[in-house]
Structure 1
Amino acid sequence: MSAPLLEGNDNSSPHFTAPPNYTFPHHRLNLLQRYPEKQPIVLVACGSFSPVTYLHLRMFEMALDYVRQNTDFEVMGGYTSPVSDQYKKPGLLSAHHRVNMCTIATEQTSQWLMVDPWEAFQSYQRTAVVLDHFDHEINTVLGGAQLPSSDERRHIRVVLLAGSDLISTMSEPGVWSETDLDHILGKYGTLIVERAGSDMDMDTATEALARWRHNIFLMPQLIQNDVSSTKVRLFIRRGLSVRYLLPAPVIDYIEEHSLYADDASNYDKKG
């Protein structure tokens, strides 16, 4: 596995460029609030998604349940944001295929999830900048959420959705810059899904991020699921079935394009 990329080594103001022919997807984004007493939010998951699995999709459903039962938020939409090829992770499949697989998965298995290709088809973008991009598109360009029976508009908060390994890296000195941590956790916040079988001490990890604790929401997995893209790739290379680990149309796409198979030298076995 490659060494962690230092987040936030460029503290300049975000300059939003866009890939050719890019349009921000919002066909499933709900801009009309049902519950005006709640704060509208949008969930954003960043990652490789190589390939997207049922656990990636399940994370959004877990977050939806958690938000409904434990917070004063109202979820208006959810997005996957596949990382750029310039992330330089060993074995990273091309953004073209990763975006296509995420699109197939969300469009054919969900009624509210979307894929934003903005991050994928350009140079590497820091997580803080990616979240700023969503905030700009949703609130500045689209105008945020409209209150019911009113012309009043309300700011939609962008919230980062991730696995517990994110908190692990954020609590490790030198991986993320203090500036970006404050920007991500202070301005946006994060919903963290515990990883099945993880021996990470969540209390220790969050203690290191204590100043942002009010914006860190920890969600237990009520049904343990340890499916990962790394394991899926390994299964494919070994000729094992991956049915019911990821959506069937994604498996069909992988088979149609002969992805991951018979090329162990080019794919990172450790993920």
Structure 2
Amino acid sequence: MSFFNNSQQAPPYSDQQLQYAQFQQQQQQLQGSSIEAASAPQQPPAAPAEEYHFPTQRLRAQQYPNRTPLVLVVCGSFSPITIMHLRMCEMASDWVRMVEDNYEVVGIYLSPVSDAYKKSNLAAAHHRIRMCQLAVEDTTNCVMVDPWEATQPRYVPTAQVLDHFRHEINKTLGGIDSIESAERKQARVALLCGADLMHSMSTPGLWSPDDLDRILGGDGGLYVVERHGTDLEEAKEALSKWTDHISVIPQGVPIDLSSTKVRLFLHKKMSVRYFVPNPVIDYIIENNLYGTTKEDRATYVQLVNGKAASGSETA
């Protein structure tokens, strides 16, 4: 008998199916209410809770002028973020540096999904943004967290998220700086993901052809990290139209870790140390996320974070 109950695992592609179903329903609601909205008295827009600023603090200047600057975007729930999300960024950076000598990674962005995603066990957007920020705080890589998608009132399809990054980087910023020239260069913006997302893209009817072309065509692309035991050949064949824009990155060391498994460990009051960055574990406990409560806080502090209940380090 398995230690974990398989019924608690989500069926394949359920996340993507839910996202698109919600988006389509929202579009229908908007179209159905357009006449009423046009005749209704116009109200001034509500002031945003916090003014948005596109993060650029770790966006690197290009060092190799003969290469195309590359910005990678990781979309996901990040509920919570795990070391696998961070490893994906490292593996992609290594791959581009060692294999694709026509590109240069100048920035990697984590883009948490909005609360409109309505996924079960999804922590509030402000918590997921902060956990991602804590996770990348001490990294020396060019990884940043963009809160734009997470703060939208409606679900934003992946194609539109990438359009947002292309606009901010190539239009608003005017491109990427170079250490050898005052002229900015237009960046390629590509999606970085795991094998499961690529499989979902190859599933008929799940992604619209227009969205796939906006993600994979033109100056876009897909960098996908293999998962141990997952065969991507069928997915590659289904997406053969964009073969030249898809890079499959071997995982090297198999790491079978997901946010779902981390939440299950927390639910069972088991340690998630070395699965999740320590600052994120502290944040989860402090904010009583994923079943952690004030009543059993001492247990979590001791077992999950490796500290004694009094807060002193254990031997």
Same fold (TM over 0.5): yes
Q: Which has the higher contact order (CA 8 A, sep 6+)?
A: 1
C-alpha RMSD of matched pairs (Å): 1.8
* Residues in 1 aligned to 2:176 and 2:49: alpha-carbon distance in whole angstroms: 26
Using the aligned pairs only, state the percent identity: 53
Q: What one-letter code is carried by the residue in structure 1 that aligns with 2:169?
A: I
* Residues in 2 aligned to 1:109 and 1:74: alpha-carbon distance in whole angstroms: 19
Aligned to 1:70: 99
Contact 1:47–1:82 at 8 Å: present in 2 too?
A: yes
Alignment of 1:5-84 (within 5 A): 5-6=19-20, 20-30=50-60, 32-71=61-100, 72-84=102-114
CA shift digits 1:122-157 (9 cap, x unpaired): 121110110010111111111112334322221011
Contact 1:53–1:246 at 8 Å: present in 2 too?
A: yes
Alignment of 1:81-230 (within 5 A): 81-122=111-152, 123-187=154-218, 188-198=220-230, 201-230=231-260
Change (3 A) 1:210 1:19: farther
Change (3 A) 1:37 1:20: same
Post-superposition shift, 1:249?
0.6
Give secondary structure in 2 for the equivalent of 1:183. helix
Contact 1:161–1:192 at 8 Å: present in 2 too?
A: yes
CA shift digits 1:47-79 (9 cap, x unpaired): 000000000000000000100111121000111
* Residues in 2 aligned to 1:131 and 1:19: alpha-carbon distance in whole angstroms: 24
**Larger Rg computed on CA atoms:** 2
Change (3 A) 1:111 1:167: closer
Post-superposition shift, 1:108?
2.3
4+ long deviations beyond 6 Å: none
Contact 1:167–1:205 at 8 Å: present in 2 too?
A: yes
> Once structures 1 and 2 are overlaid, which stretch shifts more, 84-93 or 104-113?
104-113
Contact 1:139–1:155 at 8 Å: present in 2 too?
A: yes
* Residues in 2 aligned to 1:262 and 1:204: alpha-carbon distance in whole angstroms: 41
Post-superposition shift, 1:262?
5.7
Change (3 A) 1:59 1:19: farther
Q: Does 1:235 align with 2:265?
A: yes
TM-score normalised by structure 2 residue count: 0.77
Post-superposition shift, 1:93?
1.1
Give secondary structure in 2 for the equivalent of 1:67. helix
Q: Does 1:245 align with 2:259?
A: no
Aligned to 1:259: 289
Q: Which runs of 5+ in 2 are unaligned?
A: 1-9, 28-47, 294-315
Post-superposition shift, 1:19?
7.0
TM-score normalised by structure 1 residue count: 0.89
